[in-house]
Amino acid sequence: MARKKIALIGGGQIGGVLAQLAALRELGDVVLFDIVEGLPQGKCLDIAEASPVDGFDVCLKGTNTYEDIAGSDVVIVTAGLPRKPGMSRDDLIDVNSKIMTSVAEGIKAHAPNSFVIVISNPLDAMVTLCQKVTGFPHNRVIGQAGVLDSARFKAFIAWELGVSVKDVNAMTLGGHGDDMVPLVRYASVNGIPVLELLERKYNDKAKAKEVMDAMVKRTRGAGGEVVALLKTGSAFYSPASSAIAMAESILRDQKRVLPTCAYLNGEFGVKGFYVGVPCVLGAGGVEQILQFELDAEEQAMMDKSVAAVKELVAILK
Ligand code: TXD
């Protein structure tokens, strides 16, 4: 059986880590595309020269031509500018829309049967645009944001409670903006509600709520926290890990339940927009959208987040 093939469009900070992770996990052969000559070629050569050390058998090819992505099973898009300190993700929409349009045309022409995972910001708008330009079915065009936002939320909970990150379950819904919806009620440590554990830790309900509120706030601002520290760009290790988890679930038909920026057709009260919700990702791309009950407060936060996504998408038109 032929190896799977993964194309990475954008060979910058996230693109480079994606290439390395895809190779280390032997997800398939990797093509790294960028418009900058030498950049993807250099990164691929560098990673490939580590293969005897790490022991992975995949081919890595850096390129500046779209012909090389032909036959890709999965395409991950990071092309576009990242934020600088003081910028919101939405400030990137004009410049990144132009880039996304050309990228989506390249994917449509050269990898028409691929599954596409968009990472470029502003995420929800860029996924919408990518689907529109490629014309691919909605189950084949998705965005990565929720895996990362949820991972950040989980990390903060694990650090606060002094437990392994592996035993924390938590999720964010909605758009990849400051209005994202970290679900407090469903956050648990192996099924034990996090709020209850906080109440026992502090023996004080008000303090527990205060600590949880602070973790929610930090989750919403976590991307900006990294930008403020790096000063020259945004997070790149964790977004790459997150997208690789999604790609792996599709390529290996794992059917993992991952928060995914997916096209909604009435689910969670949203119709005709891409928004972050839990999805089953497998060989068919988005195979299921898992719906569940939101209480009034959660639904109100979701509605606010969706309103922000709609505003951004309106700018595209
Ligand atoms: O979770 C998430 N979704 C995100 C998204 C988390 C963090 C950052 N996120 C966004 O990903 C970020 O705001 C950016 O929009 C993208 C890529 O971030 P990265 O940190 O990798 O940016 P770089 O290092 O600037 O890399 C972008 C590359 C760079 O090498 C450019 O030369 C290239 O994109 N580029 C292009 N490639 C192909 N085609 C075109 N037209 C093009 N234009 C620029």
Ligand 1 contact via 83 beta carbon (within 6 Å) = yes
Other beta carbons within 10 Å of 2: 8
Nearest atom of ligand 1 to the alpha carbon of 243: 1
DSSP letters, 141-159, are EEE-SHHHHHHHHHHHHHH
The answer to whether residue 29 scores a pLDDT higher than 90 is yes
Question: How confident is the model at residue 193, as a pLDDT?
Answer: 98
Question: How confident is the model at residue 83, as a pLDDT?
Answer: 85
Distance, CA of 136 to CA of 112 (rounded, Å) = 8
Please, what is the average pLDDT of the chain?
97
The answer to whether residue 317 scores a pLDDT higher than 80 is no
Q: Are strands 29-33 and 5-9 parallel, antiparallel or unpaired?
A: parallel
Phi, psi of 66, deg, nearest 5: -70, -25
Question: How confident is the model at residue 174, as a pLDDT?
Answer: 96
Q: Is 107 annotated as a binding residue?
A: no
**pLDDT single digits (tens) 204-237:** 999 999 999 999 999 999 999 999 999 999 999 9
What mean pLDDT is predicted for residues 282-290?
98
**pLDDT single digits (tens) 150-195:** 999 999 999 999 999 999 999 999 999 889 999 999 999 999 999 9
List beta partners, residue 274.
263
Among 4, 5, 110, 176, the active-site one is 176
Question: How confident is the model at residue 293, as a pLDDT?
Answer: 94
The answer to whether residue 20 scores a pLDDT higher than 90 is yes
Question: How confident is the model at residue 84, as a pLDDT?
Answer: 83
Q: Which two tokens stand for residue 125?
A: 């708008």
In this prediction the pTM is 0.98
Q: Is 121 annotated as a binding residue?
A: yes
**pLDDT single digits (tens) 76-112:** 999 999 888 888 888 899 999 999 999 999 999 999 9
- DSSP conformational letter for 174: B
Ligand 1 contact via 111 beta carbon (within 6 Å) = no
Distance, CA of 150 to CA of 154 (rounded, Å) = 6
User: At 1, is the pLDDT very low, low, confident or very high (cuts 50, 70, 90)?
Assistant: confident
What mean pLDDT is predicted for residues 136-146?
98
